[in-house]
Chains A and B, each alone.
Chain A
Amino acid sequence: MNLELQNKVILLTGATGGIGKQVVLDFLQEDSIVICLIRNQKKMDEMRGWLKEHETSDLNVHSYVCDLMNFENVNETVKLIINDFNRIDVLVNCAGFAHEYPFALLNESQIDEMIDLNFKSPLYLIHAVLRPMFKQKEGCIINISSVSAVKKGRGIATYASSKAALDTFTRALSQEVGRKNIRVNCIRPGVINTSMSEALIDRSEDTIQASTALARHGYPNEISKAILFVASNKTASYMTGESFSIDGGMY
């Protein structure tokens, strides 16, 4: 099926993470233009190498170094991108971070880091991209939350709360911008085989099998394909304000 994502400008955070790089690959295979907001060039270079290993040209991948937790820097970077590409069709907020630790033992900076990166930074970026999206009279925003926002888990109280906040923000913002043809949705991945979940999978594979209907963890492409579905006006033009889990039927 042609998702009609050719030449669409996709802005992505967390592009060098396990889910993120699969998202980059999948959009490139749809002939989209992918712009990655990165913290350092080294990981971006590694990602380009990974794309080549997957026989995918990196010609349509571009990167901008940006401090996602700096409101001004985010605004300036989005202005540069608009100057260079003229539009942003889809924003995917994929950056995320978890200190898996009992809440009572977290220090101030660990709490702040999770709230800032998982919740505040997507808001900063959305705030910046709404201006061009209003002007182009369409847009699609996809927030990557976590199944922990709605399911139980230990050692993730702050992380889960920050992701739940993103879920709620998604729903509320969709009501503000829907009439301007901007769709806002949220995907909650379950336990996905990435470096972020490696330790969890290693120590809890049996529990994951026992607590998911599909009796296994997920893979990045099982999330990225859903992101493409939501991004495409061919498949999801009537979808907004929605948060849904892709978690293998976790209970």
Chain B
Amino acid sequence: MGVCINYNRQMESINDIFKVVAEIIEGSIGTPKEEIKIDQTLFDELEIDSIDLVDILFELESHYDIELKVSDIESRAREELGDVPYEVDGVITAKGIVMLRKHMTEIDPSSLKEGLTIHGLVRLFSVHSLCKIIQYRIEILDKEKS
């Protein structure tokens, strides 16, 4: 997939982003894009490993001309918590869990429970989570420009 940077970012809905993400996942791990569903988890259901995820993130960066971080998904939760700790020694706090349930509605809420680690949270990511990371970054860039 070639680099595509000259387009109207504000037109990007989650559905538009999903089409791109599915195509890039297909390119990285070979799963046909038609078989990729937005609610599938990356690690357990699509069997993507951490190196595939790096590859996918880099491809998405090229496509959207943005820089992505897996931690972007937690950023809104952290922002809203302000000075209240989101995690302690890698374990997400009870208040952090509440925020994640609010902002990561695509994840089964019963998985977002006490004792969840930051590393464990990444394993819960779905295709939808990935789409939201991109949307989040695009929104930030658009805010910076306006």
Q: Do A and B bind each other?
A: yes
Q: Which residues does A use to contact B, with CB under 8 Å? A: 131, 134-135, 176-177, 179-180
- B45-62 contacts to A, CB under 8 A, are 51, 54-55, 58-59, 61-62
- B72-130 contacts to A, CB under 8 A, are none
Complex contact A135–B59 (CB within 8 A): yes
In the assembled complex, the Cα of A176 lies from the Cα of B61 at a distance in Å of 20
**Interchain nearest-CB distance for A8 vs B (Å):** 21
**Contact pick for A179, options B51, B58, B59, B61, CB 8 Å:** B51
Can you name the residue of chain A whose Cβ is closest to the Cβ of B56?
Answer: A134
Complex contact B58–A177 (CB within 8 A): no
Interface size on B, residues (CB 8 A): 7
Q: How many A-B residue pairs have CB under 8 A?
A: 14
A-B contact pairs, 14 of them (CB 8 A): A131-B58, A131-B61, A134-B54, A134-B55, A134-B58, A134-B59, A135-B58, A135-B59, A135-B62, A176-B51, A177-B51, A179-B51, A180-B51, A180-B55
In the assembled complex, the Cα of A179 lies from the Cα of B52 at a distance in Å of 9
In the assembled complex, the Cα of A180 lies from the Cα of B51 at a distance in Å of 8
**Interchain nearest-CB distance for B54 vs A (Å):** 7
**Interchain nearest-CB distance for B79 vs A (Å):** 24
Can you name the residue of chain A whose Cβ is closest to the Cβ of B58?
Answer: A134
**Interchain nearest-CB distance for A80 vs B (Å):** 16
In the assembled complex, the Cα of A179 lies from the Cα of B50 at a distance in Å of 12
In the assembled complex, the Cα of A130 lies from the Cα of B139 at a distance in Å of 27
Can you name the residue of chain B whose Cβ is closest to the Cβ of A179?
Answer: B51
Given pairs A131-B58, A131-B61, A134-B55, 11 additional interface contacts (CB within 8 A): A134-B54, A134-B58, A134-B59, A135-B58, A135-B59, A135-B62, A176-B51, A177-B51, A179-B51, A180-B51, A180-B55
CB-based closest 4 A-B pairs: A134-B58, A134-B55, A135-B58, A135-B62
In the assembled complex, the Cα of A105 lies from the Cα of B54 at a distance in Å of 43
Can you name the residue of chain B whose Cβ is closest to the Cβ of A131?
Answer: B58
